[in-house]
Structure 1
Amino acid sequence: MKPFLLLATSHTPDGAELTLHSHDSHFYLRVNRQPLMGTNASESEKVLAELACAKLHGGTPRVLIGGLGFGFTLRRVLELMGPAAHVQVAELLPQVVAWNREFLREVNGALIDDPRVEITVGDVFQVISRAPGGHYDAILLDVDNGPVAMVQDGNARLYQTQGFSAITHALRPGGRVAFWSASTDHAFAKRLAKAGFKVETVAAKAYPQAKRCTHTIFVGDRK
């Protein structure tokens, strides 16, 4: 049996331990020893991209991705968008960007240098809040494990009234926001609808061969 290797260790601004591991041909990210993500379960991250970009056809779309992770959402967005697209990725943790370049370049790390991509190291809530009105055609949020913060307590703002208000301002009329979540959350879906979005809840598999859907994508269209 191949060993489970520790590749790198760092800490989040809140003091949580962040570790990158490899096992066999896959990579895993843990927070305080708890699994956060793995390259062996990326299907729902691709579904997030497909749902968020479903209404974008041609032109010069502006897309914001909150959370780089292992780059699977970014890869699928770039596959769906044309050469004139601008895809901004806001990643809170600089070490995640560095690890993609150093350890994960053969997975999706090379996409960071795609000319359509802009990497912003910082809080995606602040990026959204500072955006001009109607700036983005689509916003994709794969932050923590969804509405329940795991990495950074401040991420909870994205799933509350102040986050919805900032997203509404930053999206163009008819624009779409999509949230990835590790589980379903009926209360969150109700809050999103109450904020004025047309909401759809989509169940998604963690990997193509999975027998059941364990993740959830919340899609909200700005009216």
Structure 2
Amino acid sequence: MKPFLQLASARTPDGAEMTLHSHDTHFYIRVDRQPLMGTNASESEKVLGDLACAKLGGQKEVRVLIGGLGLGFTLRRVLDLLPQPDAVVEVAELLPEIVAWNREHLRELNGALLDDSRVLLTVGDVFPLIEQAPKGHYDAIMLDVDNGPIAMVQDGNERLYQSQGFSAIMRALKPKGRATFWSAKDDPRFEKRLTKAGFKTETVPCKAYPQAKRCTHAIFVAERP
């Protein structure tokens, strides 16, 4: 039986312990020993990119923003969907350790994508990027921050899922632009809040991995009218 190895550890701004592990061919990130994400369950991260960018392939000067690098699966899908060389894919990752782990331990997985000429990486909070962006700056915004509307790693992330965040996202998106929110579970109240904020909204159930028998996660789609 192959061992469950700890490869690295770090502290979040709130003081929680974040650890990177490997087992067999897979990698896992935990926070205070609780599972956060794993390479064996990345399907919903790909769907996050699909729902935001599926209609943008072939368009000129597309600019999108990914909030949360994680294990890099959303970034990989978005780069596949936007092969045009003039596309700009901004990635904001709060924790520098996550970026370092991708470049070192996960380079053969998705880490090399950070060196793609279309990628613009920011180590820091995604919220200021959205709030300070020019009006109509982004064709799509994808947020995979904590566990969705319920914060886990960083308390300040909750503003992304409240009226302050909705207003900033609405302003930063182009007309018909989409914001997609990853969530560990369905949340009808959150969808209602998005609708009240003026978005055309939809909740898309999704699986953690393709062979799963049921959908355990949800992607909230918010389109600017």
Q: TM-score, normalised by structure 2?
A: 0.98
**Residue in 2 that maps onto 1:138:** 140
Q: Distance in 2 between matches of 1:187 and 1:141?
A: 18
Cα shift at 1:47: 0.6
Residues 159-178 of structure 1 aligned to structure 2 (within 5 Å): 159-178=161-180
Aligned to 2:192: 190
Residue identity in the other structure for 1:75? R
Count how many residue pairs are aligned between Structure 1 and Structure 2. 223
Alignment of structure 1 residues 208-223 onto 2, 5 Å: 208-223=210-225
Question: Counterpart of 1:12?
Answer: 12
1:79-134 C-alpha deviation (Å, 9 max, x unpaired): 00022210000000000000000100000000000000011011011111111111
Q: What is the rounded CA distance, in whole Å, between the counterparts of 2:128 and 2:22 in structure 1?
A: 32
Q: How far apart, CA to CA, are the structure 2 residues paired with 1:112 and 1:135?
A: 22
Q: Report the aligned-residue RMSD.
A: 0.7
Q: Tell me by how many angstroms 1:55 deviates.
A: 2.7
Query: Identity of paired residues, percent?
Result: 74
Q: Distance in 2 between matches of 1:35 and 1:96?
A: 15
Q: Structure 1 length as normaliser, TM-score? A: 0.99
**Letter of the aligned partner of 2:146 in structure 1?**
D
**What residue ranges of structure 1 are gaps of 5+ in the alignment?**
none
Q: How far 1:54 sits from its partner (Å)? A: 2.3
Please, which moves more after superposition, 48-57 or 141-150?
48-57
* Superimposed CA distance per residue, residues 159-216 of structure 1 (whole angstroms, 9 cap, x where no aligned partner): 0000000101111111110001010001100000000000011000100100001110
Gapped regions of structure 2 (runs ≥ 5): none
In 2, Cα distance between equivalents of 1:3 and 1:78:
33
Residue identity in the other structure for 2:64: V
CA distance, structure 2, for counterparts of residue 210 and residue 119 of structure 1: 32
Match of 2:44 in 1: 44
Q: Deviations over 1:48-79 (max 9, x none)?
A: 10000123142111000000000000000000
